[in-house]
Structures are given as structure tokens and as C-alpha cells.
């Protein structure tokens, strides 16, 4: 009865255990790293650390000898030791401060542009065009932007569109700085632009279908045993 009571008292429950730093390696490896951290002799500690690295690499044998993967294992070793392990690492030792650094906030584009069918890139292209000096290059760029706007308009609105509508939208998006009403420029024909959109749509659909289809057709082989073949 005393033996049973002693065995029950030595049981460990998850509710009283310490939280694992990297759970995928398991609790046994975490305890092994804690024991390595407490070794006083540095040479013995270095040998034990290399042994732990080999054990960690054995969990992913196909990546064990990759240099970048070795660097990752050493970083994880220091992280799992709570940065208390002092050994000679072949790679720079990470620090808690660098690990806890938060990345900079990304500048997301506007989510609700006035004309969504043009996309956000049109706004960037218009801003670039307004910064260019007056000349043939700027005029050519503005014409390219207007034709691209017309193509985007037709991709969402299948009917034809007058050039004056595109000119008005371009005037609004450029805050009145790009006015094609004063020029004699004509945009590409709507029919030609719709043919380009249809061609691109068919090309993307063909690429999608080719990825999903299996080019190899496996035929079932039938082996005929001449001994079992009956003569007519």
C-alpha cells in the first residue's frame, strides 16, 4: 500500500508542469536542455549541446545536414534554454531583445478607392506621371495610363465606354492636373481592348486547367499467361 501511495505522489500532471517553450520537441528534450544548462564544466557542456543538436536534427533527418537548418537548430537550442545556456556556438547567439522585437507596421493601400475597377496601381502611376517634366515622355505615359484605365473599365463593364468618361475619371484622380479634354488624343478601340481582356482571361483559365489535369494517363497492363490461354 505504501508503494502505491509513493508512486501516485510522484506522478506529474500537465496542470503543475512548466509550459514548454517549443512544444514540438517534447518535454523530454526540454528536460535534457535544462540538465545541459546546469553542467559546470564548459567542455562537457559543449559536448552535451552538440549531442542535443544531433537529437533535434534526428527529428528532421532530411534537413539535418543543411547549413541553414543547423543555424535554426542552434537558435532554437538557446531559446529553449531561456537564453541561459553558455556554450561555443558556430553561429551568432540570438538575444532575447532581438527575438521580442516587433516588426514595423506595414503601410496598406487604401481599401476603398473611388473607382475600384481601376485598382490602386493606377493612383501610383498617375502620381508618377504628375511628377515628370512636360514633354513627349510624359504625354506618352499619360496616354498609356488612360488606355490601361479603359481596359480595366471594360474588364468589369462589358459594354463599350466613351473616351470622355475615361478622361473625366483621369481628371478626378489627378485632382485636375491631367486634362486630356484639351488634347486631340484618341484611346484604343474598345473592341480591341476587349479582345485583349478575353485573350488574357482564356490564357489564365487554360493555365489553371492544365495544373489541375494530369498529363500522364496510366493504362492498366494485362499480363496474359500463355499456359492459361485457351486455343480456339
Question: pLDDT, tens digit, for every residue of 22-32?
Answer: 988 988 999 99
Domain tally for the chain? Answer: 2
Question: Is residue 177 included in any domain, yes or no?
Answer: yes
**pTM of the predicted model as reported, rounded to 2 decimal places:** 0.47
The secondary structure of residue 16, as a DSSP letter, is T
Q: For 177-206, what is the mean pLDDT?
A: 71
Specify the pLDDT at position 221: 47
Question: Is residue 105 included in any domain, yes or no?
Answer: no
**H-only helix segments in the chain:** 2-9, 26-37, 42-58, 67-80, 96-99, 121-131, 136-156, 163-173, 190-212
The parent domain of residue 167 ranges over 116-194
Residue found under cell 480591341: 192
Same domain, 91 and 25: yes
Comparison of pLDDT for 228 and 87, the residue scoring more: 87
- Does residue 163 contact residue 186 with C-beta atoms inside 8 Å? yes
The Cα–Cα gap between 36 and 47 comes to 9
Question: Is residue 84 included in any domain, yes or no?
Answer: yes
Question: Is residue 8 included in any domain, yes or no?
Answer: no
Question: Is residue 50 included in any domain, yes or no?
Answer: yes
Mean of all residue pLDDT scores within the chain: 79
Same domain, 80 and 130: no
Same domain, 87 and 123: no
pLDDT tens for each residue of 148-167: 998 888 887 767 788 888 89
Specify the pLDDT at position 145: 92
Q: For 202-214, what is the mean pLDDT?
A: 53
Same domain, 25 and 63: yes
Same domain, 79 and 38: yes
Q: For 75-90, what is the mean pLDDT?
A: 92
At 199, the pLDDT band (50, 70, 90 cuts) reads: low
Specify the pLDDT at position 52: 94
Selection from 66, 100, 98, 81 nearest residue 22 by Cα: 81
Q: Answer yes or no: is pLDDT of 5 > 80.
A: no
Q: For 74-101, what is the mean pLDDT?
A: 91
Same domain, 89 and 127: no
Same domain, 78 and 133: no
Specify the pLDDT at position 205: 53
The secondary structure of residue 221, as a DSSP letter, is P
Return the percentage of the chain with pLDDT > 70, whole number. 76
Same domain, 26 and 93: yes
Q: Which of 56-65, 68-77, 97-106 has the highest mean pLDDT?
A: 68-77
Question: Is residue 232 included in any domain, yes or no?
Answer: no
Same domain, 68 and 122: no
Same domain, 26 and 86: yes
Question: Is residue 2 included in any domain, yes or no?
Answer: no
Question: Is residue 108 included in any domain, yes or no?
Answer: no
Amino acid at each position: 500500500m505504501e508503494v502505491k501511495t509513493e508512486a501516485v505522489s510522484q506522478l506529474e500532471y500537465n496542470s503543475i508542469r512548466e509550459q514548454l517553450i517549443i512544444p514540438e520537441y517534447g518535454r523530454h528534450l526540454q528536460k535534457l536542455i535544462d540538465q545541459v544548462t546546469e553542467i559546470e564544466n564548459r567542455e562537457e557542456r559543449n559536448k552535451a549541446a552538440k549531442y542535443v543538436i544531433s537529437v533535434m536534427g534526428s527529428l528532421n533527418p532530411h534537413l539535418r545536414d543543411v547549413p541553414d537548418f543547423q543555424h535554426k537548430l542552434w537558435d532554437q537550442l538557446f531559446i529553449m534554454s531561456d537564453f541561459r545556456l553558455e556554450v561555443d556556438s558556430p553561429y551568432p547567439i540570438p538575444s532575447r531583445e532581438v527575438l521580442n522585437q516587433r516588426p514595423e507596421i506595414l503601410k496598406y493601400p487604401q481599401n476603398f478607392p473611388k473607382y475600384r475597377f481601376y485598382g490602386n496601381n493606377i493612383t501610383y502611376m498617375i502620381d508618377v506621371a504628375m511628377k515628370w517634366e512636360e514633354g513627349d515622355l510624359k504625354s506618352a505615359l499619360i496616354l498609356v495610363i488612360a488606355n490601361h484605365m479603359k481596359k480595366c473599365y471594360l474588364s468589369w463593364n462589358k459594354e463599350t465606354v466613351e473616351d470622355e468618361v475615361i478622361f473625366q475619371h483621369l481628371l478626378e484622380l489627378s485632382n485636375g492636373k491631367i486634362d486630356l479634354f484639351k488634347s486631340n488624343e484618341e484611346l484604343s478601340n474598345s473592341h480591341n481592348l476587349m479582345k485583349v481582356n478575353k485573350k488574357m482571361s482564356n490564357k489564365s483559365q487554360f493555365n489553371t486547367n492544365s495544373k489541375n489535369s494530369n498529363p500522364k494517363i496510366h493504362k492498366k497492363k494485362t499480363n496474359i499467361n500463355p499456359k492459361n490461354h485457351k486455343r480456339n
